[in-house]
Each structure stands twice: as structure tokens, then as C-alpha cells.
Chain A
Amino acid sequence: MSRGDHVVLDACVLVNAALRDTLLRLAEPPHLYLPRWSHEIMLETTRTLETRLGLTSEQTAYLAAELETTSPRHGLKGTSPSYRQ
């Protein structure tokens, strides 16, 4: 992997706060890599956080909005979900 490569962060990464935080900080300048996720991945992330960690829909909506700020998904469409319920 070289700098500037696109990397898809799947739901199994995004649901874990410490891992998500660490990986997204690596994407800060000088941009070790460019994180991406799809709308489906985001839905899966919020759903998993609600069902398995008991977060409220307000909490996950907040998270989704903040994540959109850090890395808008730039048109990445679909992936195979690895985090089925």
C-alpha cells in the first residue's frame, strides 16, 4: 500500500470505536491512505451498533453524520457485507 491509495473500511472495522478512531487518524495528513465506505456499509455499521451494543438511533445517526464529515463516501457503491445479523 502506498500513500494515496483508496482503502475500503468495512462495517466490521467501523463498529469498533478504538479501531475506527485509530484508522481514521492514520488517514489524517499526510494521508497515509484514503478511507472509503459505501452507504450499505454505513447502514450495517449503525444497525450492528444498535443491535449488539445497544446504542440508540440518535447515537448512531450522530456517528453516521460525523463519519460523513471525515470521509464522504465519494460515490462508492455496494460491497459484500461481512457483518450480517
Chain B
Amino acid sequence: MITSTARAPFDKPVSEDARITALYELLRLEDKVIVTGEGELAPVEVPEVVHDLLLKILKGIQEGKAISILPVVEELTTQQAAGVLGVSRPYFVKLLESKKLPYHLTGSHRRVYLKDLMTYKQYRDRERHEALNRMAHESERAGVYDKVLLPQE
């Protein structure tokens, strides 16, 4: 299930830079990493799949990227999908009804596949980016890009 936290990217606190770098280097250079705590529990060797995942996360953080971890689920409700896109549920339903992305019915409820949603999101983000470029270009052309209007009393 996708919760609201799924799309809140993880930020790197500056104070933890050094430890993050050290951990990244450790995981990158060593095949076998063992985690120990301060309590009485036995040390655990980090499983390969977790090792790979941690490396990917730390690499992203190193590059200054914000990291989101999205649990992979096949089907999303319209509420969950709207949350991923950052739009309201009614707006998302309109997208479905105007056939912007495919959906199917589970009983009487609309569901979308995560893969279709992410494809749509990429398409939408690209469209937005191009629209921003066109607008900036048009404003330049009209000679108003750097015009500043202050509110009047």
C-alpha cells in the first residue's frame, strides 16, 4: 500500500555527510558487511539484496538526489494514484475518464497499475517541462521575461 510518506523524499542532513560517505565506501568496497548493535542480539551479515539496495540509496544520496522509496504494488486505488501524482482524487478520476491512462475495475472500484501510473507521470513531467520552456521563450520574445510588476495599492 502506498501511503502519503511514500512520495515524501528522504533528505540527507548535512551533519551526517561524513558517515554517509564512509558507509557508502564500506559497502562499495566490501562484499561482506556485518551489522552489530550495542545490545545482546547477535551480529547479522547484511544480505546481498539489502546490500545492493543500500548501495543504490547511498549512491543517490551522494549525488545529492532526494530518495523516494515506493513499495511496488500491482494495483493502486484512485486515492493512492492521485497522491503519487500530487493531484486531487476528483482530478485523477477525470484523467481516467478522459482516457489519459488506462484503468480497470475491481468490482465497482477503479484501479490503476503502478507501471501505467509511472509512465503517465513521466509523460506529464516532460510535458510540463516543455511548457515551461515554451513560456519562458515566449516571455523573452515579448520582452517581458525580466519585467517586474509590483502590486498596486
Cα A66 to Cα B66 with chains together (Å): 28
Main secondary structure of the interface of B (DSSP, over half): loop
- Size of interface on B: residues with Cβ below 8 Å to A: 33
Contacts of B125 in A (CB 8 A): 28-29
> Which of chain A's residues has its CB closest to B151's CB?
A12
- Closest CB-CB distance, B32 to chain A, in whole Å? 33
| Chain B residues in 8 Å Cβ range of A63 | 135, 138
Are B135 and A67 within 8 A (Cβ)? yes
Binary flags per residue of B120-153, CB closer than 8 Å to A gives 1, else 0? 0000010111011011101100101111111110
B67 to A: closest C-beta gap in Å? 9
Report the contact-size class of chain A (Cβ under 8 Å from the partner): 35 or more
- Complex CA distance for A66 and B132, rounded to whole angstroms: 8
What's the nearest-Cβ distance from chain B to residue A4, in Å? 6
Check A80 for interface membership: any CB of B closer than 8 A.
no
Residues of B near A75 (CB, < 8 A) are: 88, 90-91
B residues with a Cβ closer than 8 A to A are: 4, 7-9, 65-66, 68, 86-88, 90-91, 125, 127-129, 131-132, 134-136, 138-139, 142, 144-152
